[in-house]
Amino acid sequence: MKLKYFLPFIAILFLKCTPDREPVQFQMEYFDESFTVDPGFDPLLTWFFPFNNIATRIDAYKDDFGITDDDIISITPRRFRITNVSTADDYNFLNEVSVKIIDPDDPEKKFEIFYHIPNNQNLGSSVDLVPNDTDLKSFMINRRFSIEISLVRFRQRPPTSITTRFEMAFDVR
């Protein structure tokens, strides 16, 4: 008899253990940037692709949605995708991918915001990275930010030269 009261109580505890989050007000999206992965890249090295002084367009977003800096509770990574736009080759040669955000005024201030963990799956011609749950408001309310994409230790040499476009988005709460 007591068991029928105990099980619903446990279920309620587990359902209430997730943190409450404010709803997403809008997404900040960035795309149409690209870099080239060359077949001559040494697979044992880490290859870095910096993108400096990307405009946040925060003022335009705030105007469009009628908010101020005080209305923004947090800005967190949402999605990051790399896509092969030049050939039919896939990204099976990739091992690890990391994206860090960098403060252009203080290059020592940087955080990993997206990553791809190695696995044995067929990656195809686009790869979605996993977002870190990091509040980036201090970076994104400024007018500019930088990112660094790192390709770490390839499984093998890239088959051909691959023009890679990336898209990224952030949730504003």
pLDDT at 52: 96
Q: What is the pLDDT of residues 9-49, one digit of tens each?
A: 444 444 445 456 789 999 999 998 999 999 999 999 999 99
The two tokens of residue 167 are 């898209």
CA distances from 73 to 11, 24, 145 (A): 30, 10, 19
Indicate the domain borders of the chain.
Answer: 39-172
Q: Does residue 65 contact residue 25 with C-beta atoms inside 8 Å?
A: yes
pLDDT at 34: 96
Q: Which amino acid is at 124?
A: G
How far apart are the C-alpha atoms of 53 and 145, rounded to whole Å? 5
**Residue 158: how many other CB atoms lie within 10 Å:** 22
- Where the chain has pLDDT below 70, the residues are 1-20, 120
pTM score of the predicted model = 0.85
